[in-house]
Structure 1
Amino acid sequence: MSVMEKTEEATVAGAREYLTFRLDQEEYGIDILKVQEIRGYEPPTRIANAPEFIKGVVNLRGTIVPIVDMRLKFNCTQADYNTFTVVIILNLRQRVVGIVVDSVSDVMELEPGSVRAAPDIESAIDNSCILGLGSVGERMLILLDIEKLMSSEDMGLVTTDE
């Protein structure tokens, strides 16, 4: 059975797969179907007057891809670039965007019953961009609606068709 068939089968059953990654001390999850590829970090070409969290752009096989440092976007205490730092290339509404994260953990399948609503608290992340909190054993994941987050007005990266 191919990976795609397994993903489709899991989706039909109600379970969803999330790519998990770390930012500072927190672990996040994004819909695996939005992920195009994972690459090592290389410094992008800086764009004048871009917000600090937009590190610049890279040329990915002929496509100019904006690179967002999620650690800066989420106000993490540190944003060190090391051998674990990676860029997750996302395909969102026909727009390709890269996000810089501390490290990628794994792909996790979550049943709907293991996802809880996120508490309504002030944070660096707009609450409407948090799908919920997923738990697997002792691990707690903050599940992001990455498409909504990347299309928020302050990002200005992905336009909505609504």
Structure 2
Amino acid sequence: MQADVQRAKQGQGASNRFLTFYLEEEVYGVHISDVKEIIAMMKTTPVPKTPAFIQGVMNLRGNIIPVVDMRLKFEMPSIPPQMYTAIVIITLDEKQIGFIVDKVEEVINVDDEHLSLPPEFGGQIDTRFIKNMAQYKQKVVMILDLIALFGDEELSMVQNLSKTASDKG
């Protein structure tokens, strides 16, 4: 899968290439340029006094990386890791964050005409974290805006975990 990510980044028309993954039955996507790598689920170390969606931190080849349980972030029930559970390592503002997902699907290429803005549901439902909706094969993929998903304060806190953990190490 790591090689797939690297090939996808180097491919032509990378502007509309997304890594897709599942949370329950829903398919989400992130821009391939934000993806550093995909790894199997591994042990994390909990960090006290952090929000429930922060699984903890992990040591990946000497780098301390905060890990977010995307199920909890989306207010879905938490489940123990399954056979296909993976951690997608994302780079945001030059910091790495791990996202636990149920299953990584594939790298897709979506033409502009198959991308649309998310529907507006009114004030009750927050869709700010959805950048686009992509039509791909017979599926609708929600393309995430990772910065909007967290907001400035949460993003700062998550990113600072790696600095804090590595400073103490």
- Return the TM-score normalized by structure 1: 0.84
Encode CA deviations 1:94-120: one digit per residue, 9 max, x unaligned: 101000000000000011110111112
Q: Does the Cα contact within 8 Å between 1:58 and 1:65 map onto a contact in 2? A: yes
Q: How far has the Cα of 1:153 moved from its partner?
A: 2.5
What is the number of equivalent residue pairs in this alignment? 151
Q: What CA distance in whole angstroms lies between the structure 1 residues aligned with 2:129 and 2:120?
A: 12
1:152 Cα deviation from its structure 2 partner:
3.8
Residue equivalent to 1:157: 158
Indicate the RMSD between aligned Cα atoms, in angstroms.
Answer: 2.0
More helix by share: 2
What are the ranges of 5 or more consecutive residues in structure 2 without an aligned counterpart? 1-5, 161-169
Q: Is 1:65 the equivalent of 2:71?
A: no
Match of 1:120 in 2: 120
Question: After TM superposition, where is structure 1 displaced by more than 4 Å over at least 4 residues in a row?
Answer: none
Following the alignment from structure 2 to structure 1, what is the Cα–Cα distance between the partners of residues 43 and 10? 36
Unaligned ranges ≥5, structure 1: none
Q: 1:150 to 1:62 in 2, by over 3 A?
A: farther
1:157 to partner: Cα distance = 2.4
1:157 counterpart SS class? helix
Amino-acid identity (%)? 30
Conserved in 2, the CA contact under 8 Å of 1:135 and 1:141?
Answer: yes
- Is residue 2:94 matched to residue 1:91? no
Change (3 A) 1:120 1:49: same
- Alignment partner of 1:34 is 2:34: yes
Matched, 1:10 2:13: yes
Give me the TM-score of the superposition, normalised by structure 2. Answer: 0.81
Check 1:27–1:16 CA distance in 2 against 1; reply closer, same or farther (3 A cut).
same
